Structures are given as C-alpha cells and as structure tokens.
Chain A
Amino acid sequence: MKHAWRIKAAAVALAAVGGLAMAADALAQAKEIFVPVLVYRTGPYAPNGVPWADGFVDYLKLVNERDGGINGVKIAYEECETGYATDRGVECYERLKSKKPVAFSPLSTGITYALTEKAPGDHIVLITAGYGRADSVDGSVFRWNFPMMGTYWDGADILVQHVKKKGNLKGKKIALVYHDSPYGKEPIPVLEALSKKEGFKLMLLPVTHPGVEQKATWLQIRQQRPDYVFLWGWGVMNSTAIKEAIAVAYPRLQMYGVWWSGAEPDVVPAEQAAKGYNALALAHSAENDRPIHAEMMKFLYDKGKGTASDKKEVGQVLYNRGMLSAILTVESIRTAMKKYGNKVMTGDQVRWGAEHLNIDANRIKQLGVAGMMVPFHTSCSDHGGAHSARIHTWDGEHWSYTSDMYTADYKLLRPMVEASALKYAKEKGITPVDCSKEK
C-alpha cells in the first residue's frame, strides 16, 4: 500500500515539475539575420525530409563559413520538427516567430496553406520553392507567398506536354495517383482543364496519408490499364507506389512522378525494378559535380561540420532542392540589402527583395549551380518567376535527363491563376494591389 502511495506521490511531483518547466523566453539576436528551418526528420516523410533539410542547412552554414554571412551579416538559423503535420507546423512557426525571422520555407503544402493566413499579419515571407499554392503566383493577392522554381500547375501542364509528344492524347486514359492532401489535390484543376482540351480521360485515384496502403489503387490501375500514370506522392508513398506498380506489372516507362516523387529514397527501395521510372526534375537533378558541391566538401564536410550523416547525400536530388531553396532565400535577402543597406533585414524589406529577384545566367554561374536553375526574375504579377522543368529517368543506379526543358503554358494557366486568386481575395476580403503601380 505504502509503495502505491509513493508512486502516486511521484506522479504528482512529476506533474508539478512539468507545469513549471513551461517557461518561455525569447532572445532575438540583433546582429544576425534569422532564417527558420521547418523540417521533418522523423515519421513517414523523413526519408525525403532529411536530405532536403540537410541541403538547406548546409547552404546556410556554407554562406557563414565561406563568406562570413550575407554581405557580412551572419545568418542564425534554428530547426523545428514538424513531422509534416499542419498543427505542429503552426506551433513551430509561432515558436520561431519570436526570433524575428524573415522567411519561412515550410516544405509542406498543408503548412503553407495555414501559414498563408498568418504570414501577412506578421510580415514574414513564405518562399515555397517547388510546392505551395499554385495560385499564389499572383502577387497582387498573395503579397507574401513566393512559389519560386515551379508550381504544381506548371508541373501538371509540363507532364501533359511531355506525354503529348509521344502521340495524340485523344481517347487516352491518364491516372493521377495522388497523396490525399492539399499537395496531391493541387494539380487536379489543371489536369481537368487539359483533359477537356486534349480529349484524354482523367482517372483520379487518391491515396490516404501516409500512403503505405495502396493495394486497392493499383488493382484499379491493373483493371483499367491507363496509358499513363502520374504519381503525386511524398515520403513512403512513393516507394510503395513503385513497388505496387511492379507487383501489378504496370510498365515503369509509362509512369511519371512529379518532382517530389523522383528522388533517390523513392526508387532505391525498389532497386533494379524501378528502372525506367520517370519523374519531373524541375531544372535540376542529382548533380554533384558543380562548384558548390566542391565548396560544401571543402568548407563543411572536410572539417566535419556538414549536416548530413553521410557525405554521399551531398548532391542527391532532394539535397540539391533544399540547397536551392536556401539559395533563393539568401538571394532574396541579398537583393533586399542592395536597396536597404547591409544590415539585418526586416520581413518587409525581404519581401521587396523576393519580389525583385533577378537571377540571370551569370549569377547562376557565380552561385556555383550552373545548369541546375533556369534564369528567372520575379515581379509583383509573377511571384513564381520560373515555370520550367524537364524529365529525368532512373536507370537503376542514376538519374539522367531524358527530355529537353519544357515551359508551362501560361496562356492556359494565367487565367486560372487569376480566377483562383480572385476567388481567394473575395473570400478573405482582400483588395488586390495594382501591380502596374508597384515599384
């Protein structure tokens, strides 16, 4: 009996300590520019989240080590684990907000949607490189969102352009196997519009989070035999989908992933059987021989300061994408500094920088990422800037490009972007700014 009381007393004491431990402090470092890093290094999306996070953090480290910061202003950063969950992402955002961050890159379309509501009030830029809301390209409504490098609507259009090259799509069947979340649903309106225009039949096959259970989906594909399967997955869903495709003997050559379904963690588990699988690659793939990778080795990994546990990760597809996201963040800050001086920037100043980003071929070369980005510039009416991607194919060991660069057809997409942005503005009571008057 006495023993039981002791346990109960311990429980009470523990509860009390837990209550007291909740003390919050916020120390903003005034001399450093703070870049928050929302990551997921655990959970079903970790295989893909880890290389992205390593690439992002490594670039920030590199700028500090190599250049002593951005124009002499050091970067401070802090990771926060979201686990790809929206509510946890919001908590991370609030936690890191007290340190006066200038730009968030949440790496989750769901979290991007939630932060889109909060960032304007807090004057924080959202740089969503290769994900996020497609309609946030319209900067007159989405003042703080920057879906640079390419949106899912671009991706959907480019994939259709690519398969159209192989023959008329009239009467063909295309299946979209998608993650049942804002991320996976994002391309649907464009694919629907294109199916009307090109005359193909669209099959929508949702896969519920986290995506390890896809038997029913692939049985349907075996039954219906679509001519092409577009895969819009993330994390373990991708490798599972490729394995299931093998199980129902669906030809990998007819499978096309979006750029988040085309990296090493997706194909390596299926080994040789994934051979022939295609995916979009934005403008970059698994390049690991550019000057930036040599510098990563020289300044970080040779000194034991690298973030990745294995240096083979440097130059993988998602590592490169994380690195490019960090580059875009840093370049936005740098552009803002050109106007406002070399000091710690505010969110408003970085927003100006992100809106006036001009990355030409020369700058891409200087950054050491030649051939991994297309030259682009952003503006108030186009917060995306770049809308190009190409296809890369897995040969069992490496990714290699198998198409030229495509550019999304904005004759089709622009009216959709504007209509969608306007609908959002109406729902939220936002008055779009006049882009012709913005400087």
Chain B
Amino acid sequence: MIYRETGQFKTSYASDQQLFPILQDRVVVIGFLVFAFAVVPFVASEYLFRAILTPFLILSLAALGLNILVGYCGQLSLGTGGFMAVGAYAAYNLALRLPDLNLIVVFILAGLCATVVGAIFGVPSLRIKGFYLAVTTLAAQFFLDWLFARVGWFTNYSSSGSVAAPPLEIFGYPIQGPVHKYLFVLAIVCVLALLAKNLTRGAIGRSWMATRDMDVAAEVIGIRPLHAKLTAFAVSSFYVGLAGALWAFVYLEAWEPLAFDVNRSFELLFMVIIGGLGSILGSFLGAAFIVILPIALNQLPTKLGIPLSTASISEIELMVFGALIVFFLIAEPRGLARLWAIGKEKLRLWPFPH
C-alpha cells in the first residue's frame, strides 16, 4: 500500500527516465537530504558529527568508489587502501607545495592522481580476471604502502613518517567546527553519489555491467573491454582517492601509512559485499554497518547500565559483530540493499499480501 505506484502515469520520456521514477522514493530521498542538510546540523551532538557521521560519509564515498569497480564492473580489487593513500598523500603534497591552491582544487587534483595510479594498476585486468586480479591489486596495495612509508619526499621527510594536514579553508572561509566539516563532506558525497548514480545508468555504466556479466558477450556486441575496464578503474580510483584525501584531511588530520593499510582495503570490500554489490544505496548501508555498528555495540553495555570490563566489552563487540555479518549474509547474500528492496516489495502489497 505504501509503495503503490498506481496512478503515477509516465507521460514523457523524461518522467520515465528520471532518477527515482516512483513518487514515494523521490519524497523519501528529498526528505532525507533536507533532513541531513537542514535538520541534523542543528540537533546532532559534536560527538555524532566528529566520530560517527563524518567517518561514515567518507568511508561511504570510498565504498561507493569500490562498488563501481567490484559491483558494477566485476573487477575484484584489494588495493583500495593504497588508492586512498594516493589521494591522501597527493592532497598533502599539493597543499604543502602549492599553498595558494584552493582546497577544492587540491581535492580534485588528488582524486585525479589516484585516477592515474588506479588506471595504471588496472592494466593487468585486461589479461587476468577474478582471484588473479585480486592478487595483482593486492600487489598495488603493498607497493603503495611501501612507497609512502619509505620514500621520504612524499611525507616531506617527516622523521616519524606521520604527516599533518594543513588547516582547511575554502575561499578564505575556514572549515573548522564539526558542523562545517560534516556539511563539507556531505556536500561532496551527495554530488559524487548523484554523479555515480547517473554514470551507472548511462552508456558507461551499461558497458561496465555488460563486462561484469559476461565479458566475451560484451565484446561481441561492440563494447571495448580496454575502455570499459580502465574507465571503471579510473572512476573508482577517483572516488577512492578523494575519500582518502577527505579521510586524512577532515577526519584524522594527522596520519601515517598504517591508516591506509591492507586492513582498510578488506574493510571496504566487506562494506561493499555486505551492503550490496552493484548498488549505490548498498555502499552507504555497508559503510553504516561496518563503521557504526562496532561503535554502537561497544557503547551498548554502558548505555544499558550493564557493568562489564573494557576488555569483555571489546571481546563481545567482536563476537557479536562477526555473528551479525554471518547472519546478514545468510539472510540475504546479495546484501543489505537487496533486503531494502525486498522490504519495499513487501510494503507495496501490505497489508494484503497474496
């Protein structure tokens, strides 16, 4: 009943092809955006902004980037952490060496650096597939880890290998407080999510999906695998690199290569798998699951007033978190986004299921 589209007639191509063809979806999405932009900044606490929402949004962006590559184009990658590091260190060096550059330009250039690196490491994908490709991207991860830990130039010869981001400022307007940072990240994520949604609906996205579903068939119908695969690597790396720059500049503010190690790559891959492969919404749901759930589990016993030692809370957090991953994947292997779609189907028939 709630999701019934009866009576919503599409009378033009534009209305048929719009982003959210169902009125209810449009209302929900616009309502959500209004809520995120206009209500949250006034009601949320500083902790929520700094420790939950900002990292959640940034990692959503990285998951979105990875989802383009893994979910839409079917190229398994374990080098995401490395590409994030490229973005972070590129932004650091650009900001350091060209101090007059506008921050937006710095972030975009950092994303483009990651794009170039990503496309280069994407070249093997033309010859190898599946697990073999995963291994070559893993090599990219280790190479990039090594590069930023060992080549002093990238860290401005910092003695400890740890570097600090310069103060954030756009057009002379400082981005300092938690609310500013949140809105800044939110705006970037919204623009890029919209872009990703449209990319995946268009010709490029369709060529990615065709390559994912069956690359031989895709070649037969005239899709160039070189073009499809390398654009997927490039676009994905742009998103991931930008997320890396934001993670470093906005969230951590001072970081070492360890912040982008292979665990980060796995974490992002889990987000994409749990959230839903080949789904924009899934990237956000997966990021929420992996970022917010452990923190929530960690605080739950204290909030409920159960006296437990710090060690047992952490152990319980890990156990429950692991169990929930298994549970959700058994319940719906295609991820949380699929669960949401099923829920929508149910709501369409509710309260009279047949």
Contacts and interface: CB of A to CB of B under 8 A. Distances in A.
B332 interface: yes
B41 to A, nearest CB: 15
Given A8-B342, A39-B310, A91 B296 contact: no
A23 B292 CA distance: 12
Contacts, number: 136
Contact of A209 (B45, B48, B161, B261): B261
Given A11-B327, A209-B261, A98 B45 contact: yes
A2 to B, nearest CB: 12
Contacts of B299: 95
Contacts of B339: 8, 11-12, 15
B164 to A, nearest CB: 6
Contact of B48 (A15, A24, A181, A182): A24
Interface stretch (A107-115, A166-174, A350-358): A107-115
A1 interface: no
Interface residues of A, number: 58
A97 interface: yes
A186 interface: yes
User: Chain B's interface: helix, strand, loop or mixed, by majority?
Assistant: helix
A97 B49 CA distance: 13
A21 interface: yes
A81 B336 contact: no
Interface residues of B, number: 54
Interface in A149-204: 180-183, 185-186, 188-189
B251 A90 contact: yes
B254 A116 contact: yes
B153 interface: no
B254 A186 contact: no
A21 B251 CA distance: 24
Interface in A79-96: 79-81, 83, 86-87, 90-91, 94-95
Interface string B244-263: 00000001111110110100
Nearest to A6: B331
Contacts of A113: 160, 162, 164, 254-256
Interface stretch (B6-14, B106-114, B130-138, B311-319): B311-319
A42 B256 contact: no
A117 B163 CA distance: 11
B352 to A, nearest CB: 16
A22 interface: yes
Contacts of B126: none
A86 B256 contact: yes
A428 interface: yes
Contact of B298 (A25, A81, A182): A81
A45 B45 CA distance: 32
Nearest to A96: B47
A133 B96 CA distance: 21
14 contacts: A8-B339, A11-B327, A41-B311, A41-B314, A53-B310, A81-B311, A94-B51, A98-B47, A113-B164, A114-B254, A181-B258, A182-B162, A186-B160, A206-B149
Interface of B: 45-48, 50-52, 55, 96, 149, 156, 159-162, 164-167, 176, 251-256, 258-259, 261, 292-293, 295-296, 298-300, 303, 309-311, 313-315, 318, 324, 327-328, 330-332, 336, 339, 342-343
